[in-house]
Amino acid sequence: MQSITKEAIENLFSISGKTAIVTGATGALGSAIAAAYAHAGAKVVLTGRNDEKLAKIAAELKAEGCICEYISGDPSVEDDVEKIVKFAVDKYIEVNIIAACHGFNAPKSIVEQSVDEWQAIMDADCKSIYILSKVVSNQMIAQGKGGNIIITSSARSKAGMAGYTGYCTAKGGVDLMVQSLACDLTAKYGININSINPTVFRSDLTEWMFDKESAVYQNFLKRLPIGRLGEPEDFIGLAIFLASPASNFLTGGNYDATGGYWAC
């Protein structure tokens, strides 16, 4: 029990001073996690495809005393990811954490969806994670200090859904990729990689689902022991935990953040 000291416990969930890249930082979840990391003392690089939105979020965080910068880029394009990681290293010396919060879906039945449309979902939600993990892990390996990779997957990674042959397939692939990457990266290089698997949470795209009188909302509640749909803030604690020393023994995990959806 010699390692359990007051200082160790006080710093158990600390990410202060770490450099974190957050993809999808203009979205509901990405902006929430970026703000949480920044307020927790991390130096945050926000990235996404909308330069104007990134600038606005970065300005708001800086006005609150946070350390952050932004750079636009597409996580499914290797050259863009290389550029993002280089930008982070140039600004803050190293990369310790990456939280992948980007995503895309265009629901459509297989009989209506073209192969190109399906491939676009796969590239945005699965291929991008491979590219990010590859580029970031190479940087972390060069640093020699390990690191933490946190991937946003989905509750839909474990169950199919009509119109979701692209999205469910991509997220199922992400979960298995996380498990496989842990076998590649953790023991040898000290890089822990885990996924957060959220249920539906409030965003511009899902706001319509939050009408409590609607059949969609009522149907969701039948499978949600927590009694409500998610908010972006519901995933902040798990995102910080998986980036902190408190999760040092956890890797290759797909963490249920579904409000109990997987239990029913």
Choose, from 167, 189, 217, 255, the residue flagged as catalytic: 167
Residue 2's pLDDT is what? Answer: 57
Averaged pLDDT, 143-152 = 98
Distance between CA 201 and CA 199 in Å, rounded? 6
Residue 151's pLDDT is what? Answer: 98
* pLDDT tens column, 69-85: 999 999 999 999 999 99
Mean pLDDT of the chain: 94
In a domain, 3, yes or no: no
Q: Give me the CATH number covering residue 148.
A: 3.40.50.720
Number of domains in the chain: 1
In a domain, 167, yes or no: yes
Q: Give catalytic status of residue 167 as yes or no.
A: yes
In a domain, 79, yes or no: yes
Phi, psi of 229 (to 5 degrees): -80, 170
* pLDDT tens column, 233-253: 999 999 999 999 999 999 999
In a domain, 4, yes or no: no
- Domain residues for the domain of 206 are 13-263
In a domain, 23, yes or no: yes
Distance between CA 163 and CA 88 in Å, rounded? 38
In a domain, 7, yes or no: no
In a domain, 8, yes or no: no
